[in-house]
Amino acid sequence: MASVDSAGQQLILMFRSGAYWLLDVTASPAFQTSDNGNFVPHRRALVVPGLQSWVLVTENTLEQVHLVFEGGRPSLRRLRGIEISDGIRHVSEVSRDRQLLVTTRSGNVYHWRLGGTEATLLSAVGARAVAASWLGASVFRAEYDEGASRRFEIEGQSRKHVAQRLFMPTHHEGYQAAGYYWQPSATSDGFESKVSLVPLLAGTLKAALVALLLAIPVAVGAAIFVGYFLPNRRREQIKPLIEVIASFPTVVVAGLAAVWLAPRLIDSLPEMIGAALAIPVAGLLAFIFLRAAPSWGRNIGEIRALPVRLIPLLLFLALTGAGMGHLLESQLPDGSLLVWLAQRGIAVQQLNSVLVGLILGFAIIPTIFSLAEEAVYEVPRIGAAGSIALGATPWRSFWDVVLPIAAPGIISAIMLGFGRAIGETMIFLLVSGNAPGTDWNLFASVRSLSATLAIELPEAAVGSMHFRILFLGALLLFGLTFIVNTLGHLIRRRMQSRYRPQ
C-alpha cells in the first residue's frame, strides 16, 4: 500500500510482510528515508480518513498504526488493536466518521469504532453474513450467501464510545501518549474529534482557586474591619463604595484587562512576583508582632487607624519586593525571567491564569465582602462588650467571641464567591486565552466550561454529538455550583449548631 500523510510531506509504503518505509517527498534530494521498520505481517492495509493513521488487517486481528513526530522526526507507531477470535473474512472500508465493519469466518459481523478498545457484535445481523459495507452514517448493508442483502442501522454505539472518552485519558492519532484534549471539530475531512471535558473543568477550577486566593484576604479582612471595628457612621459610608464594584460590567473590566493590563503584566513579571511575595511576608511579620505584643490594640482607636498606617507600609514593601524581583532577574544567566522559565519548560503566555485570577478576584470581592460583613455585623455586641469589660482587647474579643458566631456566614460568603467565580463567562472569554489544558502552570492560558458554552454552542449543529456534549458540560457546571453552594450551607449549619447558645 502507498499513501501520503495529511500534510503531503511523507510518502508511506507498507508491504504485506510487515515492513514499512517513510519517505520525505519535500527533502532535497526528494524521497529521503525518514523512518523504516516492521509491523505484523498483514494481508490488507486500510487508509483512515485524515491520512494520519492506517489499519492493518491480519488473519484474526486489526492493528491501527499512526504517524507521530518524535524529536521533530516522523515515525510510524502502533496505536491500538483488537482481536477477532473466530477469524476475519471481510473488512469494510473505514467510514468518514472512523468506523469499520468486520465479517468473521463464522458469519458474524462486528462493529469497531476507531479509538475504542473492543469490537461490538451486531447480533441482529445473524451468523450467515459474508460481507458488510457502509451505506451512510451508522447505516450499513449485510450480504449473505444466497445473494440476499439487508439494511441495518447502528444505534447507541457512538454515545457509549464518546461517554468513555469524556473523563478518561485517550490516546489520539498523532500524539505520543494518552491525555486529555478538547477539540471537538475541525475544517478537515476525517478529523478525529477530541471531547474530553477534563481540560475545561481543570481550567475553570484553576482560575477560580487563584481568584479566591486573591479575594479572600481582601474581602474578609475588609468585612471584619468594617463590620466590627468601625463606627456605624463610617460603615454606612464605606460599605456602599465597596458594593458598587459589583455593578461594574464584567465585559468592560475584562476588556480593559486584556488591552491594558495583560501586556504590562508580562513586561513587569519579575516585579509582580517580587511584590506578590513581599506582601504575605509582611502579613506574617505583622501577625508575629501582634502575638508578641498583647498590650497592643487595647484602645480601639489604634485598630481603626491601622489601615492608614498599613497602606504606606504595604506600598513600601510592594515596591521593595518589585525592586528585589528586578534585581534577581538581572542575575539570571540570560537576564530574562521569561527566557529562564522557558528553558525549564514553563511557558508564559500573555493571557493566563494569573490574569484571570486577578480580574475574577476583583469581581467576586463585593460578593464575599457584603455577605461576610453582614455576618460579622449581625453578631450581638453584648458578648464582646462583656469580654472587653473583663480586660480583653477589642481584637481578642473579636477573635474569641464574635468570630465563632460569624464564621458560618463568612464560610457561606466564600462559597458563594467561589460559585460566582466558576460561573463567570465574560472574564474567561476575554482574558483566559481560551486554550484548554490540564497542566497547573499558572502562566498558561486556560479555557472554562462557561466560555466554551458561549463560544461553541451557537455554532454546534442541533442534535449532534457536539451539541449534546456541550449540554452535558452545562449540566456539569450547574452541578458543580450546586455542590459548592450546598457544601457551604452544610458547613454553615454545622458551625451554627456548634456555637449556638444552649
Predicted confidence (pLDDT) per residue in 104-138, tens digit: 988 899 998 888 778 888 888 887 888 999 988 78
Residue 358 is predicted with a pLDDT of 92
Sequence-distant (≥ 6) Cβ neighbours of residue 55 within 8 angstroms = 45, 46, 48, 62, 63, 64, 65, 91, 94, 100, 114
67 with 150, same domain: the answer is no
Q: What nine digits make up the cell of 488?
A: 457551604
Residue 195 near residue 186 (C-beta atoms within 8 A): no
- End residue of a domain, out of 131, 159, 187: 159
Amino acid residing at 140: F
424 with 325, same domain: the answer is yes
Residue 492 Cα distances to 38, 367, 373, 489, 497, angstroms: 64, 17, 15, 5, 9
Sheet holding 139-144, edge to edge: 129-136, 139-144, 149-153
421 with 441, same domain: the answer is yes
Counting the structural domains of the chain, the total is 3
Q: In whole angstroms, what is the distance from residue 111 CA to residue 139 CA?
A: 11
DSSP per-residue codes, 269-280: HHHHHHHHHHHH
What rounded mean pLDDT belongs to the chain?
83
Residue 468 lies in a domain: no
Residue 173 lies in a domain: no
The count of other CB atoms within 10 Å of the CB of residue 24 is 18
Residue 383 lies in a domain: yes
pLDDT band of residue 211 (cuts 50, 70, 90) is very high
pLDDT band of residue 362 (cuts 50, 70, 90) is very high
Residue with more model confidence, 291 or 19: 19
Residue 193 lies in a domain: no
143 with 21, same domain: the answer is no
Q: In whole angstroms, what is the distance from residue 449 CA to residue 476 CA?
A: 9
Residue 223 exposure: Cα atoms within 13 Å on the Cβ side: 30
Predicted confidence (pLDDT) per residue in 269-305, tens digit: 888 888 888 777 777 776 676 666 555 555 666 666 6
- End residue of a domain, out of 81, 101, 124: 81
Predicted confidence (pLDDT) per residue in 372-409, tens digit: 998 888 888 777 778 777 777 777 788 888 888 888 88
55 with 91, same domain: the answer is no
In this structure, what DSSP letter does residue 177 have?
Answer: S
Predicted confidence (pLDDT) per residue in 24-48, tens digit: 777 766 666 777 777 888 888 888 8
- Listed as own residue / partner, the contacts of 370-373 with beta carbons closer than 8 Å and 24 or more positions apart are 370/239, 370/242, 370/243, 370/246, 370/413, 371/409, 371/412, 371/413, 371/416, 372/219, 372/220, 372/223, 372/224, 372/227, 372/406, 372/409, 372/410, 372/413, 372/414, 373/222, 373/223, 373/226, 373/227, 373/239
- End residue of a domain, out of 54, 81, 108: 81
Residue 408's domain spans which residues?
198-450+474-499
**DSSP-based three-state secondary structure for 294:** coil
Residue 300 is predicted with a pLDDT of 63
Residue 189 is predicted with a pLDDT of 60
pLDDT band of residue 471 (cuts 50, 70, 90) is very high
Predicted confidence (pLDDT) per residue in 155-190, tens digit: 765 666 677 788 888 888 888 888 899 988 765 666
Residue 86 near residue 93 (C-beta atoms within 8 A): no
Amino acid residing at 257: A
pTM: 0.85
332 with 270, same domain: the answer is yes
